[in-house]
């Protein structure tokens, strides 16, 4: 970090700042200019709040010269993180974008879930997503079948070979979800549930972390940092829209720009969720295509066998027929993107 001293700062003022930084383990480099002195401090800021220096006599400003998310940043790791599963599926890097599809909530009709899973498998998808524990705004809404839903997804995996992605809402539920899931999902509401993030950091399964509805990109990456600094480097980010100024035409604002931004500043893979990002099924296809062109490592799309009668989020879910038609177009686009990459053709 850089500490800019006031033009009239005394040598004692400078020495006081240098002393506290050296006591915290920082290496110091001083730049005495004609007008003011600049102090460069190199070290680990995790145990020290740089802004505390603003209360010191003679300090004008404190600036960070590195991103606060050290483990998730390109500064710490230049090459892309690639997350590989036991069946050979890979997410990130130059690998083919993946698709995670399934209903918002797993319901009592297991035949409907199996039908979605079979269609997903036939269309080249790698993951089945579905909610067992559903955080709802209203306490009177359907909140999930819990372990029964996990059992249903495990049956669908056995039948199709799809990997299971499901949300864990409480750190106490981690052991149960761990028995059934291949990927832990952290929903937008829990993006800053730090006890949950730290507990997931102590597991050895990939974590799909969704962006909070009002979270900045820095806050998003710092949430990933909580998982990583507790021992689990296998984090998949998910852009799922943020709160906008107009929710008449879409549920959220799909921040597609976050995808190339995160690709620039972080090595972690990022997928897009156009279902939650828009809340409208007719927007899923165009937002999926736009996300892939922006560089997304995959898509998460809600698919239900009977969305008009779904227990949750039916308006943003495709039925099986709609999904098949959409998947055909997405696969065609993925093929074109892969061709362009192979032949070094810029869009």
Q: Give the pLDDT score at 347.
A: 56
Residue 24's domain spans which residues?
Answer: 2-63
**Chain mean position to CA 122:** 27
Q: Is residue 170 part of a domain?
A: yes
CA distance 333 to 312: 30
Does a structural domain hold residue 76?
no
Q: What residues does 301 pair with on adjacent strands?
A: 101
Give the C-alpha separation, 208 to 165, whole Å. Answer: 8
Q: At which residue do the structure tokens 């001083």 appear? A: 30
Question: Could you give the angle at which helices 284-294 and 320-342 cross, rounded to 10 degrees?
Answer: 20
Contact 160, 118 (CB under 8 A): yes
Q: Are residues 177 and 94 in the same domain?
A: yes
- State residue 316's pLDDT score: 95
CB 276 within 8 A of CB 241: yes
The per-residue b/e assignment along 244-279, b for 16 or more CB within 10 angstroms, e otherwise, is eeeeeebbbbbbbebbebbbebbbbbbbbbbbbbbb
Whether residue 128 sits in one domain with residue 51: no
Integer Cα distance of 4 and 114 in angstroms: 62
CA distances from 148 to 131, 152, 177 (A): 11, 6, 11
b/e map of 98-119 (b: 16 or more CB within 10 Å)? bbbbbbbbbbeebebbbbbbeb
46 and 98 part of one domain: no
CATH of the domain at 267: 3.20.20.70
Q: Answer yes or no: do 30 and 100 share one domain.
A: no
143 and 267 in a single domain? The answer is yes
Q: Do 145 and 29 have their domain in common? A: no
Is 338 inside a domain boundary? yes
68 within domain boundaries: no
Is residue 177 assigned to a domain?
Answer: yes
Q: How far apart are CA 153 and CA 158, in angstroms?
A: 9
Q: 114 with 260, same domain?
A: yes
Please name every residue paired with 208 in a beta bridge, in sequence order, or none if there are none. 185, 236
Distance CA 280, CA 336 (A): 26
Q: Are residues 123 and 217 in the same domain?
A: yes
Same domain, 322 and 258: yes
Question: In sequence order, what DSSP letters do the residues of 127-155 get, joined into one string?
Answer: EEE-BSS---SSTTS----THHHHHHHHH
Residue 192 resides in a domain: yes
Task: Write the CA distances from 303 to 84, 159, 295, integer angstroms.
Answer: 25, 18, 23
What 8-state DSSP symbol labels residue 283? G
Q: Is residue 195 part of a domain?
A: yes
Q: From CA 184, how far away is CA 178, in angstroms rounded?
A: 8
Contacts of 208 (CB under 8 A, 6+ apart): 165, 183, 184, 185, 186, 236, 238, 271
Residue-level pLDDT at 248 = 85
Q: Does 69 map to a domain? A: no
Check whether residue 44 and residue 88 sit in a common domain: no
Cα of first residue to Cα of last residue in the chain, in angstroms, is: 38
Per-residue pLDDT of the chain (347 residues; tens, 9 = 90+): 889 999 999 999 999 999 999 999 988 989 888 889 999 887 777 678 888 999 999 999 998 767 888 889 998 788 999 999 999 999 999 999 999 999 999 999 999 999 999 999 999 999 999 999 977 778 877 778 999 999 999 999 999 999 999 999 999 999 999 999 999 999 999 999 999 999 999 999 999 999 999 999 999 999 999 999 999 999 999 999 999 888 889 999 999 999 999 999 999 999 999 999 999 999 999 999 999 999 999 999 999 999 999 988 899 999 999 999 999 999 999 999 998 888 888 75
Q: Are residues 283 and 205 in the same domain?
A: yes
One DSSP character per residue, 55-98 reads GSTTEEEEE-SS-S-TTTBTTT--SPP-EE-TTS-EESTTSPPE
Number of compact structural domains in the chain: 2
């Amino acid at each position: 970090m850089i500490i800019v001293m006031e033009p009239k700062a005394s040598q004692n003022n400078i020495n006081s700042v240098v002393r506290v930084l050296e006591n915290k383990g920082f290496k110091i480099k001083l730049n005495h200019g004609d007008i003011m002195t600049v102090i460069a401090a190199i070290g680990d800021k995790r145990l020290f709040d740089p802004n505390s220096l603003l209360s010191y006599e003679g300090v004008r400003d404190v600036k960070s010269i590195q991103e606060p998310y050290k483990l998730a940043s390109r500064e710490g790791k230049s090459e892309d993180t690639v997350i590989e599963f036991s069946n050979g599926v890979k997410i990130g890097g130059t690998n083919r974008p993946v698709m995670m599809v399934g209903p918002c909530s797993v319901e009592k009709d297991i035949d409907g879930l199996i039908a979605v899973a079979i269609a997903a498998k036939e269309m080249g998808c790698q993951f089945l997503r579905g909610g067992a524990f559903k955080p709802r705004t209203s306490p009177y809404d359907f909140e999930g079948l819990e372990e029964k839903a996990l059992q249903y997804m495990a049956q669908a995996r056995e039948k199709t070979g799809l990997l299971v992605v499901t949300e864990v809402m409480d750190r106490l539920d981690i052991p149960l979800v761990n028995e059934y899931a291949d990927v832990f999902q952290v929903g937008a509401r829990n993006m800053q549930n730090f006890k949950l993030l730290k507990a997931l950091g102590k597991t050895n399964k990939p974590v799909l972390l969704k962006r909070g509805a009002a979270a900045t990109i820095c806050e998003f990456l710092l949430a990933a940092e909580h998982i990583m600094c507790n021992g689990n480097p296998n984090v998949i980010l998910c852009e799922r829209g943020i709160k906008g100024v107009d929710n008449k035409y879409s549920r959220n604002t799909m921040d597609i720009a976050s995808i190339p931004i995160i690709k620039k500043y972080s090595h972690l893979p990022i997928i897009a969720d156009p279902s939650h990002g828009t809340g409208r099924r007719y927007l899923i296809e165009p937002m999926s295509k736009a996300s892939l062109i922006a560089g997304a490592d995959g898509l998460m799309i809600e698919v239900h066998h009977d969305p008009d009668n779904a227990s949750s989020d039916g308006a943003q879910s495709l039925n099986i027929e709609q999904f098949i038609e959409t998947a055909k177009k997405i696969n065609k686009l993925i093929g074109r993107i892969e061709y362009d990459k192979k032949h070094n053709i810029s869009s």
